[in-house]
Amino acid sequence: MNPGTSQTSMRWRSDHLKVNLTARAEDGKANQQLLTLLASKFGVARKDIEIERGEHSEYKTVLMRNLNRETLVRRLNELKW
């Protein structure tokens, strides 16, 4: 995750998402923007996504509930460089 950039973007690299966010990493604003962006892109409710590890790190592990494997793979493939 890269907070404080000029525009929001998300790209799938072979084993992780590279996410640029306009929100700054203060008071949890970037984390909230990240979760909202993921919910929108993957078609799940915002309440079904949480940061499992790395809340204060640029590298995060995110848990998404109510997302089947087929949808996950399709959406990740749409994000490839």
29-42 and 69-78 are packed helices; what angle lies between their axes, rounded to 10 degrees? 110
Domain ranges of the chain: 9-78
Q: In the numeric block, which tokens belong to residue 6?
A: 């000029």
CATH class of the domain at 9-78: alpha beta
Q: What pLDDT score does 22 carry?
A: 95
Q: For 3-18, what is each residue's pLDDT tens digit?
A: 888 999 998 888 889 9
Query: Backbone dihedral region of 2: left (phi > 0), alpha (psi from -120 to 50 degrees) or beta?
Result: beta
- pLDDT band for 80, please (50, 70, 90 cuts): confident
Amino acid identity of 39? A
The distance in angstroms from the start CA to the end CA of the chain is: 16
Q: What pLDDT score does 81 carry?
A: 58
Q: For 13-59, what is each residue's pLDDT tens digit?
A: 888 899 999 999 999 999 999 999 999 999 999 999 999 999 999 89
**C-alpha Rg value of the chain to the nearest Å:** 12
